[in-house]
Structure 1
Amino acid sequence: MLELGKTAAPATDLIKDVTEANFMADVIEASNEVPVIVDFWATWCGPCRTLGPLLESAVTKAKGAVKMAKIDVDQNQRLAQALAQQGLPLQSIPTVVAFVKGRPVDMFQGAVPASEIDAFIKRAIEQAGGDPSGGLDDALAAAEEMLAEGSVADAAQVFGAVLQEDPENATAFAGLARCHLAMDDVDQAEAVLNGAPAAISHDPQLEAVRAQIELARQAANSGPLDELRAKVEADPADLQARFDLAQALHAAGQVQEAVDQLLDLFRRDREWNDGAAKAQLFTIFDALKANDPIALHGRRKLSSMIFA
């Protein structure tokens, strides 16, 4: 499991068998610190045997952001009756109740899928004013900083660890793919994106990396910058040369100059090569951050040309 700024509490501290004797201490008082998820169950209850391990797994995964109390209603009938008299519907089990600040704030009954358990725990953490991400945002921010500073391998390790905690984290998938791009491993970057779950496959962050991959492949085949520049200067109407120059400029890190060349090409002939200039501009814009000045100004200029 990934350590995200704090040490996970031992399982014995996170998950306890609770009786009438320690209910006040381990549920009511403990819920003043973190939410306590109480599982009311019985040994004869089939759905309880299904639900219990899922609850324990979800609580453990939260790394101390919640705790769990297991109450056998047959062994604690007086406690169950007292809670029922206070309004908790314990006639059917399993019943799972989230306690925050000493009072019940949410509940469900019956065996539910893991996704609903995760959502239930997330709500409890949020109601307690905690961070339901369990510190993943901090880990992602640290990985981004590592990548920006050139510690690519370390960044890749953190992004990968986040994915172990949250297999549908689009930010981590995109970050891991960008790490491989930074190591000039375009094929592996593409493989990372191809491995993303369908639920996040069209996330804007992943689409941005796909655009970066396409540009990286183009860069590998771009022509000599000086020769292409001279060719365009010699014949400004040579649109293929201008397009090739734009690709070479982008490969050289001259993104604004590449955009300018493509905008000029679009102005000269917007339909050239099935609208290749516009398509290339969109690829460049998609690869940039949404608030990047080059993308913002470039989109504005392109729009003004399209609707002129």
Structure 2
Amino acid sequence: MTDIIMNPSDPTPTQGPNAADLIKDSSDMAFMADVVEVSKETPVVVDFWAPWCGPCKQLMPMLERAVKGAGGKVKMVKINIDENPGVAGQLGVRSIPAVYAFRDGKPVDGFMGGQPESELQKFIDRLSGDTDPAEEAGTLVDRAKDSLAAGDAGGAAQDFAHALSLDENNAQARAGLARIYLDTGNEQEAVSLIQQAPDSVTDHPEIAAVRSKIALEDQAPEPDEEDPALELSQKVKDNPDDLDARLELAKALASTGRNSEAVEHLLYSVRKNRAYNNEAARLFLLTVFEAEGPQSDVSIQGRRELSSILFA
């Protein structure tokens, strides 16, 4: 027997899948059968809850409505963590409500805490495939940037990776994930991501910025080598107008991520003699700005000072 589902904007009842087929209670023991195996055919939303959790009681009916509204494209499983703490513990659930989306036997999305109904609908739409992949990727990139701003690099990396899986032409997702790889010392993965960029985004500013950042970091000394910046700093201190030494010092600083210091030395050189060595200081400045990215404070302030020098 099928349920009658009412569309809030249309009083005419429509036939829909049986709610018992779409939404069910499950357990740690049945998780493989109810979630992992089922998700290989139909995406499954897992709602971890507990009877004492007030926000869970508010979230659950809204989530159920969104799942029913998807018309069978998504299923839902509810797990009481008081009675079934195993899977929640394995997934790292530390607070509830916690919702995970499974597709092809693996978690692909999720959130913790209460959500407005509009966001739940977007969550289900993404899972059911009722959204444009490129649009969904853009939403994930925005969320990843918010996560980075909040200091959650892990969450950002997941969203960037998911966005890239939806739209390989999303340059912001590719560049964002590559930067996280670089920041965590995984240069090989970062290089691979940039090398695999489709031709359509090869020259995108954010891809170019990561490429420049990789080039700068490739000049860094090996761990057992003495930092050349130490000797060069003394050389510049002894002779402030040694522009060759300043350029080398700037390169040494940039290679270890000290771009702000590198910019200061390069601006000094441009201010002293813009044309020296075929404008080497100015050209390297542009490389540093590109590596920093257009939204970086180092890049914004540095470009402002460079302009004031060049057009004074």
Identify the TM-score tier after normalising by the shorter chain.
0.5 to 0.7
| Partner residue, 2:238 | 234
> Are 1:183 and 2:184 counterparts?
yes
Paired residue for 2:117?
Answer: none
Over 3 Å counting, the alpha-carbon distance change for 1:148 and 1:183 in structure 2 is: farther
1:275 aligned to 276, 279, 287, which one? 279
Query: Does 2:291 align with 1:290?
Result: no
CA distance in 2, matches of 1:3, 1:276: 57
* Secondary structure at 1:274 match in 2: helix
Is 2:218 the counterpart of 1:217? yes
1:226 Cα deviation from its structure 2 partner: 3.0
Contact 2:70 2:128 in 1 (8 A): no
1:206 matched to 2:207? yes
Contact 2:160 2:177 in 1 (8 A): yes
Q: CA deviation at 1:177?
A: 0.9
Please state how far the C-alpha of 1:148 moved relative to its aligned partner.
Answer: 5.8
Q: Distance in 1 between matches of 2:301 and 2:227?
A: 27
**Which residue in the other structure is 2:92 paired with?**
none
> Does residue 143 of structure 1 match 2:141?
no
Instruction: Answer whether contact 1:147 1:179 (CA < 8 A) is retained.
Output: no
The 1:208–1:164 alpha-carbon spacing in structure 2 relative to 1, beyond 3 Å, is: same
Q: Tell whether 2:306 aligns with 1:305.
A: no
* Identity between Structure 1 and Structure 2 (%): 34
Equivalences for residues 106-185 of structure 1 within 5 A: 133-134=135-136, 136-147=137-148, 152=153, 155-185=156-186
- One-letter amino acid matched to 1:288: E
CA RMSD between the two structures: 3.8
Match of 1:13 among 59, 68, 72: 72
Structure 1: gaps (5+ residues): 16-59, 67-120, 123-130
How many Å separate the matches in 2 of 1:148 and 1:260?
Answer: 26
Instruction: Tell me by how many angstroms 1:152 deviates.
Output: 4.8
Q: Which moved more, 1:216-225 or 1:183-192?
A: 216-225
SS at match of 2:278: coil
Retained in 2: the 8 A contact 1:223–1:244?
no
Is 2:174–2:207's contact at 8 Å kept on the other side of the alignment? yes
Call closer, same or farther: CA 1:156–1:260 in 2, change over 3 Å.
same
**Partner Cα distance (2:216, 2:285) in 1:** 11
What residue is the counterpart of 1:196 in the other structure? 197
Answer 1 or 2: higher relative contact order, Cα 8 Å, separation at least 6.
1
- 1:25-174 alignment, distance < 5 Å: 63-64=127-128, 66=130, 133-134=135-136, 136-147=137-148, 152=153, 155-174=156-175
Distance 1:149 1:226 in 2: 34
Give CA deviations for 1:219-255 in whole Å, capped at 9, x if unaligned: 3479433322111111223222111222333345543
TM-score when normalising by structure 2: 0.52
Tell me the SS of whatever aligns to 2:276: coil
Letter in 1 for 2:302: G
In the aligned structure 2, how far is the partner of 1:9 from the partner of 1:228? 67
1:50-79: CA deviations, max 9, x gaps? xxxxxxxxxx9954474xxxxxxxxxxxxx
- Summarize the Cα distance change of 1:162–1:293 in structure 2 as closer, same or farther, 3 Å threshold: closer
